[in-house]
Chain A
């Protein structure tokens, strides 16, 4: 008999490597004289042969990891991820450095390089390989740290200045002050909405559980909000809030208006409620009543029951709800820019308006990074807060 665990070829990793290998032969970036220039494409091989072969070597390494017989499924993960991380760094650094060289050669002083098809395809291949490896992995450490390693690599390249000539970094430098302001606003709006949703959603979930007659109407409301498209909900906020702000000048002075941060916060807060209310309710509903009975019977006071039994058992489930809520809100905050709220969405819509994809990308990349970071941070908190046998230990 052949040991299936060992002999199986990892098809996903292999196809990831094939996609990446193909991408290396396509134009990796476009050299432009200015923002609106059509530019001309440059491939990896055209930029620098040694770099091309190095990148190819990483792809081949990943493919070998995928097909190597006699390798346990689990032991494929780390080498595959490491090779993918190297390819990722090489892709960005190559685009940055190679792009700068091309610009210097053509004496485009205000020129820039935009990532092209090859770049995105290799990035997709990296995504395939890494998400696959993480799904296979049982190590909390690996699953928690890998996305952070990629983010850190990108930020390090940015800080060192290697990718200064990449188009959206250019867009960033021309708007540095505003970027920081919008980033802060984005985080502030999202965190504020989720914070309020936690403050309201957790008690609401408890209420829905304790008072059975409230369960249906409460869930009808929070579920109903989720069915409204986000853009429509932002729009719906404008009229009533404008009316209220006209009626009550005091509120207007506090910043309550039909457009701006207030309606955005309100809409995002409503969206963020559902996962939190639902998970709080579920955490109580699935709690074994015998546990409370036993705790009481052993002489725990009401307070001890709450802090030593109910909270520790329900916390991981509530935290999972907050995590979903946070990631979802970071994304939704982008749309809030449409009704005059701050946030990175402003760059995205500005880019759309000016037909400047570089500007859109500049807005989107930090949003993705933020969502990734929030997801990982909450995941690690949850795993740390869940007592019991760790995954894979059983």
Chain B
């Protein structure tokens, strides 16, 4: 657990942090976000003592960090920065093994650990172990930066705009990978970003800051659903309801989908309450959809269906994706499939609405 307790920091007359208090519970990701100059990076660097507060305490598991010698403290805290900072004269393996080496691990352990971590971040150890940083792409270098931070298995991870320098496409992949790694490792993470979509995606809690003050803290859906004041409302944007949908998983909201086997005759009388009926094969693979006003007179469901109508979402994706898919098709709903393409349910606008607080100002 990381606690900020009435922390202030100023440079001359400029106030960087003004009596800031918040808590990062164990095993969760807290995202510090806010406009530039709000004090988010300053807060992060107080934790590993790259900066010292003028007032107040930063505690790790109850102990003020100033009671640890800085080097000892830092070796126990993973640190990822936007510019990565891989040492150019060392191989990927040596870079990953840096903190373990500082801690006195022998070479064999370091090499084994580097292999594990390369595996974890999705780079083949045999291929990447002996490469030099100059031979890596931006995304690969950033992955190695994350691996290096994890090498000594620290309970705490500080990430300072870690994916800020990566192109948007790669950034989303890296965010997804980070989320799945975090699900396995359950580190206590402080993550600084200025990208709200990124914050909504990776955060358990968001700490929204402005001019050295904490404006609002809470789960992303709380902040998006109930902004505390005009600043927050403006910061999260008029599309906050849309962003909020990204916090909800399709699998938690889907409802049963009507389906017929492709060989069977489609009798609309049996599906009086539905606008669309889905067509599957013997193994419940989704093949297509038949809308109510379609070619109902055809002999079999397969002849009547229109496979162009169906673009499904997976049950692990978000309601935001589902909404986008609904808008993409001519139907007012979208089917949901599992990882094998089996039809498992559907999402209609009613489910989208149900996730949205209807009475927010």
Contacts and interface: CB of A to CB of B under 8 A. Distances in A.
Interface of A: 288, 290-301, 304, 308-309, 312-313, 386-389, 394
Most chain B C-beta atoms within 10 Å of own C-beta, residue among A298, A300, A387, A389 = A298
Nearest to A388: B132
Given A293-B81, A389-B134, A394-B135, A299 B88 contact: no
Contacts of B70: 299
Nearest to A292: B85
Contact of A300 (B50, B102, B131, B148): B102
A294 B74 contact: no
A304 B83 contact: no
Contacts of A294: 79, 81, 84-87, 145
A298 B135 contact: no
Given A291-B88, A299-B70, A389-B131, 7 more contacts: A290-B81, A293-B83, A297-B50, A299-B73, A312-B89, A313-B88, A389-B132
B84 A290 contact: yes
Contacts of B88: 288, 291, 313, 388
A386 to B, nearest CB: 8
A312 B89 CA distance: 7
Contact of B87 (A295, A297, A386, A389): A295
Contacts of A308: 87
A230 B48 CA distance: 55
A298 B99 contact: yes
Interface string B326-353: 0000000000000000000000000000
Interface string B40-75: 000000001010000000000000000000111111
A108 B78 CA distance: 84
Nearest to B149: A298
A387 B81 contact: no
A285 to B, nearest CB: 15
A387 B73 CA distance: 30
Contacts of B87: 291, 294-295, 308-309, 313
A296 B73 CA distance: 11
A308 to B, nearest CB: 8
Contacts of B134: 388-389
Given A388-B132, A388-B134, A394-B135, A299 B85 contact: no
Nearest to B79: A297
Contact of A387 (B48, B72, B84, B132): B132
B50 A296 contact: yes
A298 B75 contact: yes
A78 B73 CA distance: 56
Contacts of A312: 89
B132 A299 contact: no
Contacts of A295: 85, 87
Nearest to B145: A294
B159 to A, nearest CB: 11
Given A290-B84, A293-B81, A388-B132, A298 B89 contact: no
A294 to B, nearest CB: 3
B50 A298 contact: no
Given A291-B87, A293-B81, A299 B71 contact: yes
A299 B81 contact: no
Nearest to B78: A298
11 contacts: A288-B88, A291-B88, A292-B85, A294-B81, A294-B85, A295-B87, A298-B75, A299-B70, A300-B102, A301-B71, A386-B89
